[in-house]
Structure 1
Amino acid sequence: MSRQNPLPPEYYDELHALQAIDFTLVELNLYLDTHPDDLETLKQFNSTALKSREMTEAFEKKYGPLQNFGHSFSAYPWQWKEAPWPWQV
């Protein structure tokens, strides 16, 4: 697929940072499933979740939605038709 508007290198840097923080959330989530009373890890999970949300919102404002089914807002015009989709990069 050819792209009319090539993505800047920052796109990939920011997407990689989002993937890394979301991987951290998965690992913290799995740990908390077996250690639900670990308050320090729960604090770390919550602060990491907040950081992920902030990073996602900033990314979406610059590059468009990452999540479908109402989890991400779209600017006008509808942005989901614009490539690349998150799973294409």
Structure 2
Amino acid sequence: MNKKLDAEYYQLLEQIQAADFVLVELTLYLDTHPDDQNALTQFNQYSEYSRQLKAIFEPRYGPLLQYGNSPVGQQWDWGCGPWPWQV
């Protein structure tokens, strides 16, 4: 895809990178504090925000790799396995 990169491209990309950074940090925090409901809520909010930004960005500028692709429910179950390499 060869589209002109305008100011909106850089603005959206910066917002996506910031949201994904928050998701990485919340993931690390939740790995050691899995019962923190506030952090779970924040994770789900940023996950949705990241998806919304990407839904705007990708049709205009092309696909992105995604973090926070799957929101969590009421329990942090990331470590409940099996891990992807164990399947």
Could you say which residue in structure 2 is the equivalent of 1:58?
56
Work out the percentage of aligned pairs sharing the same amino acid. 52
Q: Secondary structure at the match of 2:5?
A: coil
Structure 1 unpaired stretches of 5+: 72-89
Instruction: For 1:21 and 1:5, locate their aligned partners in 2 and report how far apart those are by CA, in whole Å.
Output: 24
Q: Write the mapping of 1:3-18 to structure 2, written as runs, cut at 5 A.
A: 6-18=4-16
Supply the distance in 2 between the matched residues of 1:39 and 1:65 (Cα, whole angstroms): 32
Query: What is the alpha-carbon distance in structure 1 between the residues aligned to residue 56 and residue 5 of structure 2?
Result: 16
Q: TM-score, normalised by structure 2?
A: 0.68
Q: Normalising to structure 1: TM-score of the pair?
A: 0.66
The structural deviation recorded for 1:6 is: 3.9
Structure 2 unaligned regions, length at least 5: 70-87
Separation (CA, whole Å) in 1 of partners of 2:50 and 2:3: 27
Q: Which runs of 4+ in 1 moved over 6 A?
A: none
Structure number with larger C-alpha Rg: 1
Bigger helix share: 2
In the alignment of these two chains, the number of paired residues is 66
Letter aligned with residue 44 of structure 2: N
Query: RCO (CA 8 Å, sep 6+): is it higher in 1 or 2?
Result: 2
Q: Aligned residue for 2:80?
A: none
